[in-house]
A and B are shown apart, each in its own frame.
Chain A
Amino acid sequence: MNSQKALIEGILFASPHPVSSAFLTELLEAPPEEIDQALRELKAEYETDNHGFLLVEVASGYQFRTKPELKELMARFYQKKPPRLTQATLEVLSVVAYKQPITRPQIEKIRGVDCTAVLKALLERNLIEMRGRSELPGHPVVYGTSEKFLEWFQIKNLADLPPLSEMEVLASREGLEAGSETLLGLLRRDDGYQIESVGEMDETLKQLAKKPAPELELQPSGDLIPSESERSSEVPQSEMIQPG
């Protein structure tokens, strides 16, 4: 029983939470490459049809989870309705995930509707959390997604989310050719108020998490429409939050 793989498997089996490879490295006093190699091998082994569960990367760690193909069976086994997710819930979660840290008025500006009830429900489910207060007038609370959000949606880390800029926009080909020049420009230069790379944002969040809450400063990311003067002086988000 000296196989690194067996030891790792044991820990992952026993743990109720995702376990990070950094933690395993420390615990097993082994070189990180060895741990990563063992994890890769384990992952591949469970992907075969002989197993009902997988080793997945979630919330910056590794965890055993049943295969999605078993979902009907599992629902019968637990006799439990799956969590209810409304369109509004998912939209607010997306806004928070991509624009965090963000205030409630900023979320409402993007969605065009009141979000108080949805935010409250998400807070109660611990899918989002308060991250302190912004420097904006009235010092509104700013929100961010929680560790549980990553666990619920099986997301490795925030950088794993597809960038918002890659989302398709409903615009016809004729529009791209004959559309108003000003409006056409919007499609190209919307970098000033939008996080281009969530990977970079993830780093910022990590820093924010270490920072005491009252010092938190809000990035101008949530402002959909900066005023004319702001716009010219605005630095693209991706440049502002470059780690290091």
Chain B
Amino acid sequence: MDELVRAPSAAAIATSAKYQVQLAEWSGPYDVLLQVIDDQELDLLNLDISILLEHYILYLETCPIIDIEEAGEFLLVAATLAQIKSKLLLPKEEQTEDLDEKDPREDLVRYLIEYQKIKQAADLLRDRPILGRDVFLKGTREQFEGMESDGRGTLFQLVRGFQKAMKELRAHTRMDISREEISVSVRLQEILFQFASAEGSSRFLELLQDSSRSKTYIIVTFLAVLELIRLKKIKITPVVDSAEDFYLQIGDSVSLESHELLQSEFDTGPNEMIKSLSESEKSSEEMAV
């Protein structure tokens, strides 16, 4: 009993990606039904519901663990099949009062016809010459990947990149008691220096790749990037196949040789802001647990 009603634990949620792999053969209950119809050579327009139901359940049983949410959808279809089966078992005479005599299978068949068409449309899409898989545009790798936007990133992408970096940090490190002191201004110069050696461009997540560094380091890097954007020293361009990463490029009018010393506003006060940021991060972490 305990096993039946237990809500998905945190561990189960974390590994739910695994369950999806087991389900990947079918993209939904209709997909399974079509598979049964095909395998059992059933006639879509004269469906033998009892065979369909029997094999549908057999198929589901071969799939040992199902994501609890998806299981509901699969069970709903099983219940619908059982209902149709029972309706078909009723003697015909009792239904004659209905003026518009409807075949109980009608709705189901309608769904299946519709779904089949969509499946075929999906197959046709897959076979098209897909950009980045079959056909390519001119340009350097960077331009190729960045070209599908209008060349401007959004603040949300920047924030998402920050969140991703924080998440990865959480996965890598255990306890980090030592405190790393680094100022935004210093990091800012570092980033510009890094650009000079990388021909004026870099990826945001590359800047944060050093997972041995502390949370402070990531926060300071993020603040430094924001500051560089504000000072119009760099531009950001989204990376097409990633929602979190983006390209950082040196601004048009910025010379990497100039030794102009940049001072960040973040450093004017004591590290109050950084402290509050890491605290809010900690509390959200606790909530997640």
Question: Per-residue 0/1 for A12-35: is the Cβ within 8 Å of any B Cβ (1 yes, 0 no)?
Answer: 010010000000000000000000
* Contacts between the two chains (Cβ within 8 Å), count: 187
Task: Assess whether A94 is in contact with B130, with CB atoms less than 8 Å apart.
Answer: no
- Does B122 make an interface contact (CB < 8 A)? yes
- Does A211 make an interface contact (CB < 8 A)? no
Q: Which of B5-13, B24-32, B56-64, B184-192 contacts A (4 or more CB under 8 A)?
A: B24-32
Task: Assess whether A90 is in contact with B43, with CB atoms less than 8 Å apart.
Answer: no
Taking A87-B122, A126-B148 as contacts, is the C-beta distance between A175 and B44 under 8 angstroms?
yes
Chain B: which residue is nearest A87 at the CB level? B27
Question: Per-residue 0/1 for A58-102: is the Cβ within 8 Å of any B Cβ (1 yes, 0 no)?
Answer: 000001111110110010001010110111101101110110000
Task: Assess whether A180 is in contact with B27, with CB atoms less than 8 Å apart.
Answer: no
Which residue in B110, B119, B135 is a CB contact (below 8 Å) of A71? B135
Taking A85-B126, A112-B73, A190-B113 as contacts, is the C-beta distance between A164 and B121 under 8 angstroms?
yes
Interface size of A by Cβ–Cβ distance < 8 Å? Answer: 68
- Does A209 make an interface contact (CB < 8 A)? no
A151: chain B residues at CB < 8 Å are 131, 148
- Does A114 make an interface contact (CB < 8 A)? yes
Task: Assess whether B128 is in contact with A155, with CB atoms less than 8 Å apart.
Answer: yes
Task: Assess whether A175 is in contact with B135, with CB atoms less than 8 Å apart.
Answer: no
- Does B94 make an interface contact (CB < 8 A)? no
A66: chain B residues at CB < 8 Å are 135-137
Question: Per-residue 0/1 for B111-133: is the Cβ within 8 Å of any A Cβ (1 yes, 0 no)?
Answer: 10111111111111110111111
Q: Which A positions have Cβ atoms within 8 angstroms of B? A: 13, 16, 53, 56, 63-68, 70-71, 74, 78, 80, 82-83, 85-88, 90-91, 93-95, 97-98, 110-114, 124-126, 148, 151-155, 161-162, 164-165, 167-172, 174-176, 178-180, 182-184, 186-187, 190, 194, 224-225, 228
